[in-house]
Amino acid sequence: EVQLVESGGDLVQPGGSLRLSCAASGFTFSDHYMDWVRQAPGKGLEWVGRIRRKPNSYTTEYAASVKGRFTISRDDSKTSVYLQLNNLKTEDTAVYYCARVLVQGNHYYFDSWGQGTLVTVSS
């Protein structure tokens, strides 16, 4: 069974930093791209970014709203993906989900999600 478990969410002041982790199990982690998606309280879903696999040189993509402040990394030996959040703003307050990307032909979509971890940015 695919399992994704996020951790690291906390209350942090504006301008602060935080590192989120997502521990994966139940599948061959190194075979998959991994993404982060967030959801502000009572709002819709917003894609944050992606990290590809080793054969794709672990390249990354980011939403414009977080580019330059957030960094996605992964450790295949620990079957984990990370999201480093720097220079946090109040508008970054959200539940952060990690999601597995499944490839079906030329379709790359999220098929499994973690339960989410809450980041609150407030003074």
Partner 1 sequence: DIQMTQSPSSLSASVGDGVTITCRASQDISNFLVWFQQKPGKAPKSLIYGASSLQSGVPSKFSGSGSGTEFTLTISSLQPEDFATYYCQQYKNFPLTFGGGTKVEIK
CB-CB contact of 114 with 16 (8 Å): no
Interface with partner 1 in residues 55-114 (CB under 8 A) = 61, 63-64, 97, 102, 104-105, 107-111, 113-114
Backbone φ and ψ of 79, nearest 5°: 45, 50
Q: Identify any residues that bridge with 4 across adjacent strands, giving them in sequence order.
A: 24
In angstroms, the CA 101 to CA 90 distance is: 28
For partner 1, the closer CB: 13 or 81: 81
> According to the binding rule CB under 8 A, does residue 40 interact with partner 1?
no
* Near partner 1 by CB under 8 A: residue from 9, 35, 80, 92: 35
* Near partner 1 by CB under 8 A: residue from 1, 41, 44, 68: 44
CB-CB contact of 94 with 12 (8 Å): no
For partner 1, the closer CB: 28 or 77: 28
In angstroms, the CA 86 to CA 17 distance is: 4
In angstroms, the CA 105 to CA 81 distance is: 24
Smallest gap from residue 42 Cβ to partner 1 (A): 10
For partner 1, the closer CB: 16 or 110: 110
Residues in touch with partner 1 (CB under 8 A): 35, 44-47, 50, 61, 63-64, 97, 102, 104-105, 107-111, 113-116
